[in-house]
Amino acid sequence: MTIHLAVVHADELGMDYADHPADRRRHQLAVALARESGVLDAQGVRVVDAPGPMPNAQLATMFAPAFIRAIQVLSAKPVLAAAPEARQWGVTPDVHPYPNMHHDSARLAAAAWLAGTMVGSGEALRAIVPAGGAHHGLPHKMNGFGVYNDTAVAIMALKGCGVRRIAYVDLDVHHGDGTQGFFWDDPDVLTVSVHESGRYLFPNSGFPDEIGGPGAEGSALNLALPPEAGDDAYRRAMAEVVVPTVRAFAPDVLVTQCGVDHHHADPLSHMRTTMAVYPELWDALAGLADECCGGRWVALAGGGYDPCNAPPRAWAMLMARMADTTLPDDLPARWDAIARAASCGDPASGWTSEDVAPDLSGQEAAAVAVGEAIAASRAASPLLA
């Protein structure tokens, strides 16, 4: 019997930088909340233990062997990160070596590969890796908190199963530059990224004129939103850009990076979305998966750097939507205790509550720039011509 939703998870999965925004509590609490809410006990849902690290020989089919060797050396001797030559591999204060860096990232890659393979082989209709979503890394370089780009790995796994056309939708507030780079010349992989404009935010890319390489024009689409963009901007982005683009591409499987670092309380962006919009975004993605792909969908969580606030609730809601199950009206009674045990001092009081009111004073001005950004992306895309 086909699994409806596979949740590929382990509490210790993910990068483990010290004193860093990429906090494992984000996915740990999301899975705990989904479990406490009954999502993981729903019919057709299976929690799958994340496998061990991907072997080097398999990594080397997607990443440069010299890069893999360098990451292993830097993991064994992090002090070597101070050497000038380490910079060629992407060493920065944001993505710096620590003793288990290779192991942790290779395990994330293995989890993403398993999720993609389960969907690509037909073992599961849908799969999610709550700890996944590293989308900045390239075949020869780590970047943006990630080492081995697990979103690209999930797509490669699908291709390895014979899936021909894959649409990748990236809602993280940061441009999905690495994943776009992996498939820049592949006309059978569509990469769509909705993000805060690179004029204001890392990685300073993702503009409308980035549409894919020679022979693959239209396989990349970028919507660069202005700072202060909020819920209505994302509603418009889905309705006017993401949905029609994916429909026109007609993929066989949908892959999504579901970052929520555009939440107004997130410390790493300048956006103003609220919890209320996330169920709408997940509904739109589910609709695309059903309409275009027979329901087949691989999701990776992504960014979200206020670990006790938006990520656990948003990703628990995502898992519920992928499982086609209904959440209780209220947060589970034990949620407060679970969150406090994870050192969350003031846990959320409801699924979509905002315990700190967002500053929405810039929304009217941002709306004009949002319209211009949407028009620019649509005009640049051959799929929307």
Q: Which residue has the tokens 């790995």?
A: 153
Q: Which residues of 42-73 are buried (b: 16+ CB within 10 A; e: fewer)?
A: bebbeebebeebbeeeebeebbeeebbebbee
The CA-based angle 143-149-153, given to 5 degrees, is: 170
Nearest partner of 150 among 181, 179, 185, 193, judged by Cα: 179
**SS3 at position 44:** coil
**C-alpha to C-alpha distance for 352 and 270, rounded to whole angstroms:** 20
304-326 burial, b at 16+ Cβ within 10 Å, e below that, comes to bbbbbbbbbbbbbbbbbbbbbbe
Are the C-beta atoms of residues 155 and 326 closer than 8 Å to each other? Answer: no
3-state secondary structure of 143: strand
Residue with tokens 């107004």: 264
Residue 13 in tokens: 């999965």
User: Of the candidates 230, 119, 138, which has an alpha carbon nearest to the alpha carbon of residue 181?
Assistant: 138
Residues catalogued as catalytic: 136
Residue with tokens 């683009």: 245
How does DSSP assign 80-133, residue by residue? GGGSGGGGGGT--SSS---TTHHHHHHHHHHHHHHHHHHHHHTSEEEEEETT--
Instruction: Kindly tell me the sign of the dihedral angle through the C-alpha atoms of 200, 280, 252, 52.
Output: positive
Give the position of tokens 């929307």: 384
* Phi-psi region at 193: left, alpha or beta (left = phi > 0; alpha = psi -120 to 50): beta
Angle, helices 25-36/310-323, rounded to nearest 10 degrees: 50
Distance CA 38, CA 83 (A): 50
The residue type at 154: A
